[in-house]
Amino acid sequence: MTSITLINPADETMIGEVDLNSVDEVDAAVAKAVVAQRLWAALAPSERAGALRAFAAAVDLDIEHLARLEVENSGHPIASARWEAGHVRDVLTYYSAAPERLLGSQIPVAGGLDITFHEPIGVVGIIVPWNFPMTIAAWGFAPALAAGNAVILKPAEWTPLTALRLGELARRSGLPEGLFTVLPGRGDVVGTRFVTHPDIRKVVFTGSTAVGKKVMAGCAEQVKRVTLELGGKSANIVFADADLELAATSAPGAVFDNSGQDCCARSRILVERSVFTRFLEKFEVAVGRFRVGDPLHDATQMGPLVSAAHFDRVGSFLDGVDVAFTGAAPSGPGYWMPPTVVLPKSLDDRIVREEVFGPVVAVIPFDTEEDAIRIANATEYGLAGSIFTQNLSRGIRVSRAVQAGNLSVNSHSSVRYSTPFGGVKQSGLGRELGPDAPFAFTETKNVFYAT
């Protein structure tokens, strides 16, 4: 077993070492999970519901601890990290109702009785990225467990601490041994083994589109079930008839929250040409007010980037571009980058086409509604987006025409545990969250009983 040294991205101090698991350790965890899953699925639904409520209660008591771990490990502002830990509790609570609500159906047929059952898939492997280590893990493990599966979770190399803590809380709250195992490790070792192991029957992958394609191709070998939550290049469309103050003051949070390391970041702002200059003036004021700094400060809205390597990658997008203005940022140590607003020269610029995953936004003028829709859809991605207009008909028309899984009109809302989330085109496959998520962790069995 090798290990990895974890660095606090806000000040570059060392915060600890974490062991990285090997293929043999994955195999041992899967063997235990297979046994645990059979026992778990055989429990009464009310008992599984109770166990998930106990897990949620353990998370609730640990919110401050989880939040501080996330601040130290990932650089998230403390207020966001507290929200994330609370969201994990809420996701668990929401899906604790699912074991008793996985309703099958009785279908009218001739000559007998026809019934569908939703049976667990078995062992589910969940691979998560470093940007929201707790919440994205919970979107997978809570409905998977609720549907009667066992889960093995691989956090990203650099950000394993909150996932490990959630594993500990699961054990302490009484979830059966082997049912929920957290295995830090390299993507090309532990992640790849999730894909190739014959007893892992479904993989939930959240991460880059490039790796997602490899995971999907690998899963095809065994016709393994797969859910993919991938990259994004979402548009925030501001029409001239919008409440410009609302559009401009809400736009920084929509792209710079979590330092832009957000798959739903509205990293392209499309503004109708007649209000382009007025929007930019208001946006500059709002960006100047966006509070970047000490992640442990309650009022901080944006912390550092996650790592030195990612800092360099984001910086590479700024070579040769026209920066209109920036916000403020500490000078270091730490991986600090200010909120940065760019006016691209062409729609073919790299900054317009590729996911930056950092605090950089491209602002682009458009002339007509058709123009706005065409530019919004001129991307291989389709995860999220926002539309600002006071014309209800236009809001409906444009929200139906933009190719994305999650849109909001006159807001930037993307994620609620009770509504479905996921991408179209190369942003992903399948949906997480919402009432149907547990069904994605089941196989539908149809049985005809001749009478």
CB of 215 to ligand NAD, least distance (A): 5
156 belongs to the binding site for ligand NAD (CB under 6 A): yes
**Are 178 and 65 spatial neighbours (Cβ–Cβ below 8 Å)?**
no
Q: What is the DSSP letter of 292?
A: B
Size of the residue set binding ligand NAD (CB under 6 A): 30
440 belongs to the binding site for ligand NAD (CB under 6 A): no
Q: CA 229, CA 218: separation in Å to the nearest integer? A: 16
Label residue 223 left, alpha or beta by phi (over 0 means left) and psi (-120 to 50 means alpha): left
CB of 116 to ligand NAD, least distance (A): 29
Tell which one of 154, 165, 225, 268 touches ligand NAD (CB under 6 A).
154
**Are 313 and 305 spatial neighbours (Cβ–Cβ below 8 Å)?**
no
Active-site residue identified among 229, 272, 355, 432? 229
**Are 413 and 399 spatial neighbours (Cβ–Cβ below 8 Å)?**
no
Tell which one of 142, 215, 302, 360 touches ligand NAD (CB under 6 A).
215
Tell which one of 21, 131, 259, 379 touches ligand NAD (CB under 6 A).
131
Q: CA 282, CA 278: separation in Å to the nearest integer? A: 6
95 belongs to the binding site for ligand NAD (CB under 6 A): no
Q: CA 225, CA 205: separation in Å to the nearest integer? A: 11
Burial of 332 (0-12, 13-18, 19+ CB in 10 A): exposed
CB of 178 to ligand NAD, least distance (A): 21
Q: Looking at beta carbons only, is 96 or 427 nearer to ligand NAD? A: 427
Q: Looking at beta carbons only, is 192 or 300 nearer to ligand NAD? A: 192
CB of 408 to ligand NAD, least distance (A): 16
333 cis-preceded (ω within 30 degrees of 0): yes
CB of 357 to ligand NAD, least distance (A): 5
Instruction: Return the SS3 of 354.
Output: coil
Q: Which of 350, 288, 354 is nearest to 325 (CA)?
A: 288
Q: CA 146, CA 51: separation in Å to the nearest integer? A: 10
Site string for ligand NAD, 231-270 (x = CB under 6 A): xx------------------------------x-------
Site string for ligand NAD, 23-62 (x = CB under 6 A): ----------------------------------------
Q: Looking at beta carbons only, is 116 or 413 nearer to ligand NAD? A: 413
Tell which one of 207, 252, 334, 382 touches ligand NAD (CB under 6 A).
207
Q: Which of 348, 402, 392, 413 is nearest to 237 (CA)?
A: 402
CB of 404 to ligand NAD, least distance (A): 11
161 belongs to the binding site for ligand NAD (CB under 6 A): no
CB of 124 to ligand NAD, least distance (A): 14
Tell which one of 235, 423, 433, 440 touches ligand NAD (CB under 6 A).
423
Q: Looking at beta carbons only, is 365 or 423 nearer to ligand NAD? A: 423
Note the Cα 18 to chain centre separation in Å.
23
At residue 110, what is the residue type?
A
204 belongs to the binding site for ligand NAD (CB under 6 A): no
Q: CA 227, CA 269: separation in Å to the nearest integer? A: 29
**Residue 159 CB contacts under 8 Å (≥ 6 apart), including other chains:** 73, 74, 130, 133, 306
Tallying the residues shown for the chain, one arrives at 451
Q: Which of 134, 118, 141, 136 is nearest to 52 (CA)?
A: 141
Residue 221 known to be catalytic: no
Note the Cα 304 to chain centre separation in Å.
19
388 belongs to the binding site for ligand NAD (CB under 6 A): no
CB of 305 to ligand NAD, least distance (A): 12
Q: CA 266, CA 443: separation in Å to the nearest integer? A: 35
Q: Could you tell me which stretch among 16-24, 93-101, 150-158, 441-449 binds ligand NAD (CB under 6 A)?
A: 150-158
Q: Which of residues 163-202 bind ligand NAD (CB under 6 A)?
A: 187-188, 191-192
Site string for ligand NAD, 327-366 (x = CB under 6 A): ----------------------------x-x---------
- Beta partners for residue 205, in sequence order: 127, 228
Diameter over CA atoms, the chain:
77
Q: Which residues of this protein are in contact with ligand NAD, per CB under 6 A?
A: 127-131, 136, 154, 156-157, 187-188, 191-192, 206-208, 211, 214-215, 229-232, 263, 355, 357, 383, 423, 427-428
Catalytically active residues are 229
